[in-house]
Structure 1
Amino acid sequence: MSQRATSNRHAPIFVISVAAELADMHPQTLRQYDRMGLVTPKRQGGRHRRYSPYDVDQLRQIQQLSQEGVSLEGIRRIIALQNQVEELQDEVSALHDQLREVQRSGGSRVFAVGPHGDVVTVARGQRPRPASREIVLFRRSA
């Protein structure tokens, strides 16, 4: 999914009454889910909730899981894991883009990864510090 499509998907555009209608729920249910942290809409002016198309999709998913007998705590965990997977997929996609750019430019060192999974910048011709245990990916020369 492109960056623009992702940002449109997360754009806070619906007021609570519209989001409730789109999700086929009562607005009070959306307020309760917000208090529980199931779906956290953006706030306009600090007070008014604004829901994104992504939030509405999550509300529909909550409704479906609830009808299937999953508890609200179970639903909260499922949504948290799905959000984590999406964030990781975005990070992997960004790293793939970075890798393709380095390969196009003809660089041999691609990147180094720190002990906590963070990308570490290493100057060309330099090696990562041994004490920090970075993993370095090199491209084989043909």
Structure 2
Amino acid sequence: MDDARSFSPDDDSPIFVISVAATLAGMHAQTLRQYDRLGLVSPSRTRGGGRRYSGRDVAMLREVQRLSQEEGVSLAGIQRILELENQVAALRGRVLELTDELERSRLASQARSTSRVFAVGPTGDVIAVRAGQRPRMQRSQALVVWRPSHH
């Protein structure tokens, strides 16, 4: 189906040209260019080098403007805030990965502890034993001859 209803861009789709993004963010296009140069909001680029902003970029532009105008934070301060927020997001993601890994490890450990263990009994038969135990050995009638090698 090739109609407009089948297309639903997500927040990361670079769809807005700079003039539209500037209007949506409520600021001048030159301000967007400055923020791009400073690395505060970095839009995607077309092959020809044109900027394309996503919904997430527009929301970030609004947040940068709010921090600057309402909170009085300098652009350098805003840049540091954004860096720290990115680090926090990355760390949260890593914590989730490690939590999942730990849970998988626990489940695997539980599966191992409930599995059956087998050993060779005194007569050569395979017998079930508890994990960590050896089969009870009867006195062997075997004769073992040991000859030390002379090097």
Task: Give the TM-score taking structure 1 as reference length.
Answer: 0.61
Question: Which is further off, 24-33 or 13-22?
Answer: 13-22
Note the aligned Cα RMSD (angstroms).
2.3
Shift of the 91–34 alpha-carbon distance from structure 1 to 2, 3 Å rule, reads same
Q: Which amino acid is the alignment partner of residue 83 of structure 1? A: N
Counterpart of 1:125 in structure 2 is none
Shift of the 99–52 alpha-carbon distance from structure 1 to 2, 3 Å rule, reads farther
1:62 CA displacement: 0.8
Structure 1 residue 88 corresponds to structure 2 residue 125: no
Gaps of 5+ in 2: 1-8, 111-151
Counterpart of 1:41 in structure 2 is 43
1:49 CA displacement: 1.2
2:79 match: secondary structure: helix
Work out the percentage of aligned pairs sharing the same amino acid: 57
1:108 match: secondary structure: helix
2:108 match: secondary structure: coil
1:107 match: secondary structure: helix
2:40 match: secondary structure: coil
Counterpart of 1:121 in structure 2 is none
Give distance in 2, aligned partners of 1:82 and 1:20.
23
2:14 match: secondary structure: coil
Higher strand share: 1
Count matched residues.
Answer: 101
2:16 match: secondary structure: coil
Counterpart of 1:31 in structure 2 is 33
Task: Give the TM-score taking structure 2 as reference length.
Answer: 0.58
Counterpart of 1:136 in structure 2 is none
Give distance in 2, aligned partners of 1:73 and 1:60.
17
Gaps of 5+ in 1: 1-6, 110-142
Give distance in 2, aligned partners of 1:82 and 1:46.
31
Q: Which amino acid is the alignment partner of residue 81 of structure 1? A: L
1:9 match: secondary structure: coil
Choose between structure 1 and 2 for higher RCO, CA contacts under 8 A separated by at least 6 residues.
1
1:10 CA displacement: 2.6
Higher helix share: 1
Shift of the 19–100 alpha-carbon distance from structure 1 to 2, 3 Å rule, reads farther
Counterpart of 1:79 in structure 2 is 82
Counterpart of 1:131 in structure 2 is none
Higher-Rg structure is: 2
Give distance in 2, aligned partners of 1:64 and 1:22.
14
1:56 CA displacement: 1.2
1:1-142 to structure 2, matched below 5 A, reads: 8-45=10-47, 47-67=49-69, 68-103=71-106, 106-108=107-109
